[in-house]
Amino acid sequence: MNPKIERAINDGYPLKIRGNDGYVATLVNIQPLFGSEYMGIYRYPGGDVCHDLKEIKAHFKEIFTEDTFDFSKAKIGDLVESDFVSSLMDLLPPACMSLRCAQDGEPYSHREDPDSGKLRPTFSTFKCIEGGWSNGIWEYCGNCFRGETTERGKDPIYC
């Protein structure tokens, strides 16, 4: 990887963003400013645009990759590349696998289902919000019941 891009990533610039008008852009270089200041240059389908880190944090969403997504830091609504979801589905037979809902095969935990009152397993869940398996953008939905994309239920009470 280009040392300038590595520097920008270490300073907090995301490698990929969902930027202007919802288009996906990739960090390709930096634009030096005064002193040690700089802006990230992001490549959109229509050309390159400079974005300041404050602008990115305020108005755009990072698209996580296999290298940058971390379940321990993940928040519901985080965006990920389709390559990450595909790799996750390849680890174990998935609990659910469609464009509407992709869930890994190992339960994360169990929760009480408010509809039945019974404990049910929950799975790390993603839903496709744009594109498809080979080129899509997926949204992390949290740990949901099989076939669902909304985290719900109560954690069991342990004595």
The residue from 15, 37, 63 where one domain ends is 63
CA distance 37 to 40: 10
pLDDT digits (tens, 9 = 90+) for 79-107: 999 999 999 999 999 999 988 899 999 99
pLDDT at 124: 96
> Domain tally for the chain?
2
What mean pLDDT do residues 19-26 have?
89
pLDDT digits (tens, 9 = 90+) for 30-40: 999 998 899 99
Residue 110 binned pLDDT confidence (cut-offs 50, 70, 90): very high
Mean of the per-residue pLDDT values for the chain?
Answer: 92
* Element spanning 47, H or E: strand 47-51
* Same domain (yes/no): 37, 99: no
pLDDT at 121: 96
* Same domain (yes/no): 59, 81: no
**155 within a domain of the structure (yes/no):** no
* Same domain (yes/no): 59, 82: no
**158 within a domain of the structure (yes/no):** no
Residue type, 54: K
* Same domain (yes/no): 35, 94: no
pLDDT at 129: 92
* Same domain (yes/no): 52, 92: no
* Same domain (yes/no): 51, 86: no
**157 within a domain of the structure (yes/no):** no
pLDDT at 135: 83
* Same domain (yes/no): 86, 27: no
CA distance 130 to 70: 21
**68 within a domain of the structure (yes/no):** no
* Same domain (yes/no): 57, 82: no
**92 within a domain of the structure (yes/no):** yes
- 148 pLDDT above the threshold of 90: yes
Could you tell me the pTM of the whole model? 0.85
**154 within a domain of the structure (yes/no):** no
pLDDT at 15: 94
CA distance 39 to 31: 5
CA distance 18 to 41: 14
pLDDT at 1: 76
**153 within a domain of the structure (yes/no):** no
For 93, the domain range is 74-145
* Same domain (yes/no): 101, 51: no
* Same domain (yes/no): 81, 130: yes
**14 within a domain of the structure (yes/no):** yes
